[in-house]
Amino acid sequence: MDYFIELFFSGLTRGSIYALIALGYTMVYGIIGLINFAHGEIYMIGAFTAFIVATVLSIYGFPLFSIVIIAGLAAVVWSSSYGYTIEKIAYKPLRHAPRLSPLISAIGMSIFLQNYVLLAQTSDFLPFPTLIPDWEFMEPIAHIVGTTDLAILVTTVMVMVLLTVVIKFTKIGKAMRATAQDRMMATLVGINVNNVISATFIVGSALAAIGGLLIASHIGQINFYIGFIAGIKAFTAAVLGGIGSIPGAVLGSFVLGLTESFATGYVSSDYEDVFAFSLLVLILIFKPSGLLGKATNQKV
């Protein structure tokens, strides 16, 4: 039973991380209908920024608490800046281009960013500093659920609540929902669509950065390639839940996380990624609109 609970929690942890990344995919898709292939790289850059800042600060002897705050902030700030810049460079000029053009551009951006980090940093795996110490009160259940697992879950829930508040109640959140429904109409009622799109990229990137920071401190190592796999999986999660739907992305992420966790725990860990990819292929074939998505009819 302990093993089951352990796998369950590990699935929830995975799911949380996927959810943080999947939200960026789903929000961008909801607003401009683009699969932002470079989103995984944003997450990777978030992890790298956190790694660099945290390591520098710890070398210079800052206290742990301040390191966590500063590294987290740095990851969020830089990832958001990257998200914002990438949209301006690679997607905005292609807003009226044929559908495949921005996707190819996104793939190019993804390859570019991976190799940019590879060249400027290293291809080796880097040890990520421990940002979350093992709390003492966790001691009795530490063999089932670790402190980082708990921290990830709590952070994710907090972020989700915050995001819901932003989208439901703030002005920019309302503008986002309006733009997602009908961009032309949103423009006509005076919403600056360019700003909304930028804001979407910034929010999505910030979430991915938090995901990057959490997973890096959980797994304990990073390299330039982590964004690719995580990106694909989070995308799978977003599609599973119904791309464009925010609750769908969260639900899909937890389903995917739990599936992976149980499959690797009870079947085989060699095929971890095969499970995820097969799930993606199967969903798209049998239920392309996902768990919570709506099927759309093409207008003729």
SS3 126: strand
> What's the DSSP call for residue 123?
S
Token digits for 75? 């990851």
What span, in angstroms and rounded, lies between the C-alpha atoms of 291 and 254?
12
**Interface stretch with other proteins, choices 130-138, 178-186, 192-200, 230-238 (CB under 8 A):** 230-238
SS3 222: strand
Here's the x/- map for other proteins, 10-39, by CB under 8 A: it reads as ------------------------xx----
**Interface stretch with other proteins, choices 114-122, 130-138, 147-155, 188-196 (CB under 8 A):** 114-122
107 binds other proteins (CB under 8 A): yes
Among 5, 69, 119, 165, binds other proteins (CB under 8 A): 119
116 binds other proteins (CB under 8 A): yes
Minimal distance, residue 76 CB to other proteins, in Å: 13
What span, in angstroms and rounded, lies between the C-alpha atoms of 200 and 172?
9
User: Which residues are CB-contacts of 156 (< 8 A; sequence separation ≥ 6)?
Assistant: 16, 17, 19, 20, 214
What span, in angstroms and rounded, lies between the C-alpha atoms of 235 and 253?
9
* φ and ψ at residue 297, rounded to 5 degrees: -95, 135
Token digits for 212? 């990057």
Question: Given CA atoms 289, 294, 295, 297 in this order, what sign does their dihedral have?
Answer: negative
Minimal distance, residue 1 CB to other proteins, in Å: 30
104 binds other proteins (CB under 8 A): yes
**Interface stretch with other proteins, choices 79-87, 161-169, 247-255, 256-264 (CB under 8 A):** 79-87
Chain residues binding other proteins by CB under 8 A are 34-35, 45, 48-49, 51-53, 55-56, 59, 74, 78, 81-82, 85, 89-90, 93-94, 97-105, 107-121, 126-127, 129, 228, 232, 235-236, 239, 270-271, 273-274, 277-278, 280-281, 284-285, 288, 297-298, 300
